[in-house]
């Protein structure tokens, strides 16, 4: 059994004897141990404490890794991404600079439909190769657990191709990957005037095929004006539930149309985006078991109002942060930047943002007992930082990559 003792850790961040999903004010409590050691066995966290007590673990056969004053935190848990896509969309980025809105671009066949055309034209192996390279890049940036959605196929073959690629990624990388079926991301051109027909394709053809190959754990719908209504969202999620898929939904990105109420009724694990929230939406969410997942880099990139994080946290909600990595609204999966944005633009405290991007993200992935904190028994998925004076320095020094090295299951990545 591989045993590793990590010594001379300046600050061991988010070190907890046990964990629960933080809600409301608890999000601001981020336990930090200064001058610490961390002991790993078989890829898992086995002990941690003050450096003065590290001697007990310096036995024969234990490999000592001197952190040399680095701080260590659990890897980011990115619970909302679209990491599998065929091509970037920087031409739309330029259109937006020239004044077109996200909705304008979608209306002229750009946006999600543009990505769908490119994805359907690409073979599975090439799609896998580009996605793997992207995913490896994210792990090097400190992501140690991730959710990846389909949703750029919008055809039976295209959706299966994406989900098969995600299944191959799960086998290729050492971090946990959760697969979400997002066939209901947009209505494809052929079904523009036949919404019921596309929903039947999802429920009667895509879902049985996905279940037969065991390709997804979760189901997602883009519940939004011009996309899927709350009633359609409900039909799709109920069909998914019959195959054991739990919902995690895109709601309230552009409009509040009842997505929160529907998501809670469906017992969604997580409701994501939440740029546009009424006080009723916030109250409902606070009274539910559903996690509010905020995606500030999408608001940043689209130049839209940020999620009202303060009101959502202060109402007592459970809040996670995720990257929404995708070619249209967030062409970056850099969770360090997401944490900075959360502090700078949404007034989350550094402690809140780091908890939301690690521990709450782990719960949003259904992996609260596996990752997201420095806790005995959890996976040793760890970020070793460059020298930093304090926890607050991480979001403060925005745009600086402070991730020096990454360990996954106790091994250098
Ligand atoms: O989460 N809003 C819906 N889906 C993505 C964007 C997809 C795209 O533009 O390609 C999002 O922001
Ligand atoms: Fe998204």
Among 58-62, 151-155, 343-347, 386-390, the minimum mean pLDDT is found in 58-62
Residue 358's DSSP bridge partners are: none
Per-residue confidence (pLDDT) for residue 107, from 0 to 100: 78
**What is the DSSP track for 87-118?**
---HHHHHHHHTT--HHHHHHTT-THHHHHHH
**Separation CA 299–CA 158 (nearest Å):** 28
Q: What is the pLDDT of residues 256-306, one digit of tens each?
A: 999 999 999 999 999 999 999 999 999 999 999 999 999 999 999 999 999
CA–CA distance, 391 with 339 (Å, rounded to integer): 12
> Which protein residue's CA is at the shortest distance from atom 3 of ligand 1?
222
* Residue whose C-alpha is closest to residue 268's, from 290, 242, 237: 290
Residues near ligand 1 with C-beta < 6 Å?
111-112, 115, 222, 250, 253, 298, 324, 326-329
Interval 299-349: pLDDT, tens: 999 999 999 999 999 999 999 999 999 999 999 999 999 999 999 999 999
- The pLDDT score that the predictor gives to residue 274 is 98
Note the pLDDT of residue 108. Answer: 74
Rg of the Cα trace of the chain? 21
Which pLDDT tens digit goes with each residue over 1-22? 799 999 999 999 999 999 999 9
Is it the case that residue 92 has pLDDT exceeding 80?
A: yes
CA of 338 from ligand 2 middle (Å) equals 14
Residue nearest to atom 5 of ligand 1 (CA): 329
Q: With beta carbons less than 8 A apart as the criterion, state whether 195 and 232 touch.
A: yes
Rounded mean pLDDT of 197-204?
98
Task: Name the CATH topology of 3-75+373-412.
Answer: Urease, subunit C; domain 1 (2.30.40)
Q: CATH number for 76-364: choose from 3.20.20.140, 3.40.50.12500, 2.60.40.1220, 3.40.1190.20.
A: 3.20.20.140
pLDDT of residue 1: 76
Using CA atoms, how far residue 29 sits from 252, 313, 344, 354, 356, in Å, is 28, 13, 19, 10, 11
Between the CA of 133 and the centroid of ligand 2 the distance, in Å, is 20
Ligand approaching nearest to the C-alpha of 102: 1
Q: What percent of the chain has pLDDT over 70?
A: 100
Q: How confident is the model at residue 105 (pLDDT cuts 50, 70, 90)?
A: confident
| pLDDT at residue 29, rounded to an integer | 98
Q: Where are the domains of the chain?
A: 3-75+373-412, 76-364
When pLDDT is averaged across residues 357-381 and rounded to a whole number, the result is 98
Q: What pLDDT is stored for residue 171 in this prediction? A: 98
The token pair at 346 is: 């949404």
Q: Which atom of ligand 1 is nearest to the CA of 298?
A: 12
Statement: residue 198 has pLDDT above 80: yes
Give the pLDDT of residue 110: 86
**Domains 3-75+373-412 and 76-364 agree in fold:** no
Which ligand 1 atom sits nearest the alpha carbon of residue 106? 9
Q: Give the CA count within 13 Å in the CB-facing half-sphere of 77.
A: 31
Q: First and final CA of the chain: distance in angstroms? A: 19
Q: Would the pTM of this model clear 0.75, i.e. be above it?
A: yes
> Residue 103's pLDDT is what?
78
Please report how the helices 156-172 and 112-121 are oriented relative to each other, as an axis angle in degrees rounded to 10: 80
Going by alpha carbons, the residue nearest to atom 8 of ligand 1 is 328
């Amino acid at each position: 059994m591989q045993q590793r003792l990590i010594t001379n850790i300046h600050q061991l961040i988010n070190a907890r004897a046990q964990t629960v999903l933080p809600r409301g004010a608890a999000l601001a409590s981020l336990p930090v141990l200064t001058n610490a050691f961390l002991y790993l066995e078989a890829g898992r966290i086995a002990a941690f404490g003050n450096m003065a007590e590290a001697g007990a673990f310096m036995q024969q056969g234990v490999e000592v890794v001197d952190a040399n004053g680095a701080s260590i935190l659990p890897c980011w848990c990115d619970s909302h991404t679209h990491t599998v896509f065929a091509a970037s969309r920087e031409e739309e980025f330029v259109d937006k600079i020239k004044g077109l809105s996200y909705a304008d671009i979608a209306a002229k066949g750009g946006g999600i439909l543009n990505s769908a055309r490119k994805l359907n034209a690409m073979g599975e192996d090439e799609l896998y190769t580009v996605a793997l390279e992207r995913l490896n890049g994210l792990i090097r940036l400190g992501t140690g657990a991730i959710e990846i959605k389909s949703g750029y196929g919008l055809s039976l073959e295209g959706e299966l191709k994406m989900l098969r690629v995600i299944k191959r990624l799960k086998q290729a990388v050492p971090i946990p990957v959760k697969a979400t079926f997002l066939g209901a991301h947009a209505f494809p051109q052929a079904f523009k005037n036949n919404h019921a027909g596309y929903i039947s394709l999802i429920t009667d053809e895509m879902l049985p095929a996905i279940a037969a190959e065991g390709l997804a754990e979760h189901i997602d719908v883009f519940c939004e004006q011009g996309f899927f209504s709350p009633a359609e969202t409900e039909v799709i999620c109920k069909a998914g539930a019959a195959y054991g898929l739990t919902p995690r939904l895109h709601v309230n990105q552009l409009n509040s149309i009842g997505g929160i109420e529907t998501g809670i009724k469906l017992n969604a694990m997580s409701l994501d985006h939440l740029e546009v929230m009424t006080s009723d939406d916030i109250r409902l969410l606070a009274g539910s078991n559903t996690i509010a997942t905020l995606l500030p880099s999408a608001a940043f990139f689209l130049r839209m109002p940020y999620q009202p994080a303060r009101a959502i946290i202060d109402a007592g909600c459970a809040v996670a942060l995720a990257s929404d990595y995708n070619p249209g609204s967030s062409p970056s999966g850099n969770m360090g930047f997401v944490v900075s944005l959360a502090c700078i633009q949404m007034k989350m405290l550094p402690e809140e943002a780091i908890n939301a991007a690690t521990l709450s993200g782990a719960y949003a992935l259904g992996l609260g007992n596996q990752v997201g904190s420095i806790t005995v028994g959890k996976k040793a998925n760890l970020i070793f930082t460059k020298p930093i004076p304090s926890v607050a320095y991480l979001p403060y020094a925005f745009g600086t990559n402070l991730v020096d090295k990454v360990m996954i299951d106790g091994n250098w990545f």
